[in-house]
Structure 1
Amino acid sequence: MTSTDASAVQPAILPGRTRNLLLALLAFTVTFWAWNIIGPLAVQYTADLDLNATQASLLVATPVLVGSLGRILTGALTDRFGGRLMFTVLTAVSAIPVVLVAIAGAVGSYGLLLAFGFLLGIAGTTFAIGIPFVNAWYEPARRGFATGLFGAGMGGTALSSFFTPRMVAAFGYVTAHLIIAGALLVVAVVVWLFMRDSPVWKPNTTPVMPKLRAASKLAVTWQMAFLYAVTFGGFVAFSTYLPTYLHTIYGYDLPDAGARTAGFAIAAVIARPVGGWLSDRVGPAVVLSISLAGAAIMAVVIALQPPPELAAGASFVVMAVFLGLGTGAVFTWVAQRAPAEKVGTVTGIVGAAGGLGGYFPPLVMGATYNAEANSYGIGLALLCLTALVALGFTIFLARRYRAQG
């Protein structure tokens, strides 16, 4: 979203950058809440609609699909139209599928839930707006922290996990969804009134498809896409599927499973800006290596099904911290390596990969669940293996970058 020339002359501190960062964080948080409204209620949908493990996994994973692929287009459009307009439009539009999901659930239609859950993925595309938007407000030395703080808006999944089941219990299923839709519309108005694009931002008016082709030819795009698919994909997968996992393995009811999932998401949210801040200081490769090694170890620990409450809870929190650190590190690396005028487009592709990384694990977990042993061991073993492969790739990449200077 920024231009190379503008970035070169950007003053150290642009007036209003903190306000705009916080507004972007607000919009990202509320849209991520909306994006994740199906996951916290998956246990209820499973019981009401008599779903098997595979059907429940597909229902949870479906919103992730559009939220992933849609980031490619959203990032490119942000380069052209700016974050203020894009945040306003997508936050407001996200209210529509929230209402449609409410209707589908009220009539008890699994098919409609899948269809409207697909549309709900629109809410998950706002990540690709915020990274280039924030990038343009901050000087290179502070971008890791700034994008990490913006990325803490993924805590919207924590809010959804904790509050959505309780709102349904307190106000009723349809009313709870209408409240969330109303919150989206209010935030959209606030963003339009008070958010501004960075004064150094210049629109990139190149047609979208050539921009996507140009970004797809950059090695850094696919390098970071793979790493983000593992780190952020792991976070999304746990955030959406953890209520089902906790209910199946530990027998928690819907509110209790949601509260524990919220704890997982909060830990990742706190760790993400820390990962960006540390990456500014010691380098993203170091932080990412620690993240992936830790995630591999914790996948094994979780597969052993540590007993509740303390041991199991601590295991999931530590896993969340490692994944959160990794998500912050990846986008510090993006800010360092991607051409400034292509940050939005690169972010869209990398963000899409991260979302897709979260789409498949719930399907794998549902397909590999061992009912006789009450175990998700195969899925967690695959997570461990994937993290180790990504760790090896990170080490290789860091050495190559050092050799290139």
Structure 2
Amino acid sequence: MSSVEAASAAPNLKQGQLRNLILATLASTVGFWAWTIVGPLSKRYAGEMSLTPGQTAILVAMPIFVGSIARVPVGALTDKYGGRVMFTVILGITAPLVLLTGLVGQLNNFPLLVAVAFFLGIAGTVFAIGIPFCSAWYESNRKGFATGVFGAGMVGTAVSAFFTPRLVAATGYMATHIIIAAIVAVSAVLCWLLLRDSPARTGRKVEPMMPKLKQAFSLKVTWQLCFLYAVVFGAFVAFSNYLPTYLANVYEYDPTGAGTRTAGFALAAVIARPIGGTLADKFGPKIVTLTSFGGTIVLAMLVAFQPTAETVYGPLFLTMAVFLGVGTGGVFGWVGRAAPAKDVGTIGGIIAAAGGLGGYFPPLVMGATYNPDNRSYFVGLTLLAVFAALAFLLALMVRNGGKTNENEKPVEQALAR
């Protein structure tokens, strides 16, 4: 085929790409809000049910668990059915689960609330939908930008931390869940009416899910990026969900005060994520990722000593959030370069699942290693520094992380097929 014929056969990605990117990001924001409504209310649940720190950590971590594991099949299903369908379905399922969480939360039944929180985790799979959806709308040299902007949808964690306790204070516990459920339901309808899948999907052969998963798991880069993302995104998710508990235990903040500060942490990471993706496009994802892990190592150890003045620990947490946000954008900037275009959804779903799982275990570790005598989380934060150091070493060995990538053109051409 001549270059002229190839150009005419290539889909027009410019028309509609920004609109769909923004809509997908907003849908992700709503999904993340629903996914993380338990964490901001953890002190309320702990007080009303007389929960131990370990039980509170289990409750907070439960939605993260399902939201992580389910990203694998949801990512594969997105490759098959497209983002428009999957956003609509997942948000449509999430709305009644938010209502159910509110109803069960009033019963003061810890096992039943954990079970509902488990299913609420389905909301977290929106991330695995948006990565292939947005990636398909953009050229290979702008995939880091696209996934970085979409990743800003994790601002939903900041929205949850800031607004959820305030809505409870202003309107009541159950009314808050009704409001959030209504927002999620409306978002599902808007996704169906307004979202459109990339024209690059036209004519793409749909493959069965299991062979695609097997192929994705057979790639070395899948496992490498899984570990990197598990550390950097896992740390973000863990702090965004557990920070209200941390601040309450260490600095005795009330739910509103802790939620406000957690929202600031999440917002800083969210703003940094598209910056990380853009920097990965310009300088290569490796240097961006290495910088992220290097900063995280230093800051985790500084925070571990628990400075008493907010003018000290506040900026430390915010700076850590920036490094984590840049790292999430950098690592996913790697996915668009290293993954075959037809498998971006599947591989992205696996890596996103690893990131979510990375956020599942830290709250459990923090709860298990918390020293109530001196209100210390030193062990948990030191472990974060250790894993960040291991991720730093692994990032040195991952390929296709430089400024230029010889596979970009074939990937873009495969996407156009």
TM-score range, shorter chain: over 0.9
> 1:304 Cα shift?
1.2
Letter in 1 for 2:269: A
> 1:7 Cα shift?
11
Unpaired runs of 5+ residues, structure 1, are: 1-5
- Alignment of 1:248 with 2:288, yes or no, is no
State the partner residue of 1:87: 87
> 1:397 Cα shift?
2.1
Letter in 1 for 2:20: N
- Alignment of 1:284 with 2:288, yes or no, is no
Residue deviations 1:275-332 (CA, integer Å, cap 9, x gap): 0000001110000000001001010111111233221110110010000000000111
Map 1:324-343 onto structure 2 (within 5 A): 324-343=325-344
State the partner residue of 2:415: none
Task: Output the TM-score relative to the length of structure 2.
Answer: 0.93
Greater shift, 326-335 or 391-400, is seen at 391-400
State the partner residue of 2:412: none
- Alignment of 1:216 with 2:217, yes or no, is yes
> 1:398 Cα shift?
4.7
Letter in 1 for 2:215: A
> 1:177 Cα shift?
0.3
Q: Is the 8 A contact 1:11 1:139 kept in 2?
A: no
Please give the alpha-carbon distance, in whole angstroms, between the structure 2 residues aligned to 1:11 and 1:141.
16
> 1:401 Cα shift?
7.9
> 1:204 Cα shift?
4.5
Please give the alpha-carbon distance, in whole angstroms, between the structure 1 residues aligned to 2:402 and 2:176.
49
State the partner residue of 1:237: 238
Please give the alpha-carbon distance, in whole angstroms, between the structure 1 residues aligned to 2:307 and 2:373.
18
Letter in 1 for 2:148: G
Residue deviations 1:2-25 (CA, integer Å, cap 9, x gap): xxxx99964675201111001100
Please give the alpha-carbon distance, in whole angstroms, between the structure 1 residues aligned to 2:300 and 2:312.
14
SS in 2 for 1:374: coil
Change (3 A) 1:204 1:251: farther
Q: Is the 8 A contact 1:70 1:122 kept in 2?
A: yes
Letter in 1 for 2:287: V
Letter in 2 for 1:375: S
Please give the alpha-carbon distance, in whole angstroms, between the structure 1 residues aligned to 2:260 and 2:37.
14
State the partner residue of 1:272: 273
State the partner residue of 2:127: 127
Please give the alpha-carbon distance, in whole angstroms, between the structure 1 residues aligned to 2:401 and 2:128.
27
Map 1:4-403 onto structure 2 (within 5 A): 10=10, 13-202=13-202, 203-398=204-399
Q: Is the 8 A contact 2:273 2:327 kept in 1?
A: yes
Letter in 2 for 1:197: D
Q: Is the 8 A contact 1:233 1:356 kept in 2?
A: yes
State the partner residue of 1:3: none
Letter in 2 for 1:353: A
Letter in 2 for 1:387: A
Q: Is the 8 A contact 1:7 1:139 kept in 2?
A: no
Please give the alpha-carbon distance, in whole angstroms, between the structure 2 residues aligned to 1:261 and 1:385.
23
Please give the alpha-carbon distance, in whole angstroms, between the structure 2 residues aligned to 1:7 and 1:227.
36
Letter in 2 for 1:216: F
Residue deviations 1:222-252 (CA, integer Å, cap 9, x gap): 1111100001000000000000000100111
Letter in 2 for 1:356: L
Letter in 2 for 1:166: R
RMSD across aligned C-alpha pairs, in angstroms? Answer: 2.0
Letter in 2 for 1:23: L
Please give the alpha-carbon distance, in whole angstroms, between the structure 2 residues aligned to 1:165 and 1:18.
33
Please give the alpha-carbon distance, in whole angstroms, between the structure 2 residues aligned to 1:93 and 1:398.
39
Q: Is the 8 A contact 2:12 2:199 kept in 1?
A: no
Please give the alpha-carbon distance, in whole angstroms, between the structure 2 residues aligned to 1:109 and 1:260.
29
Greater shift, 389-398 or 244-253, is seen at 389-398
Q: Percent identity?
A: 54
> 1:85 Cα shift?
0.5
Change (3 A) 1:251 1:199: same
Change (3 A) 1:105 1:197: same
Please give the alpha-carbon distance, in whole angstroms, between the structure 1 residues aligned to 2:317 and 2:148.
21
Please give the alpha-carbon distance, in whole angstroms, between the structure 1 residues aligned to 2:310 and 2:10.
50
SS in 1 for 2:398: helix
Residue deviations 1:93-120 (CA, integer Å, cap 9, x gap): 1112111110111111111110000000
> 1:121 Cα shift?
0.4
Q: Is the 8 A contact 1:68 1:351 kept in 2?
A: yes
Letter in 1 for 2:137: W
> 1:207 Cα shift?
1.3
Please give the alpha-carbon distance, in whole angstroms, between the structure 2 residues aligned to 1:79 and 1:294.
35
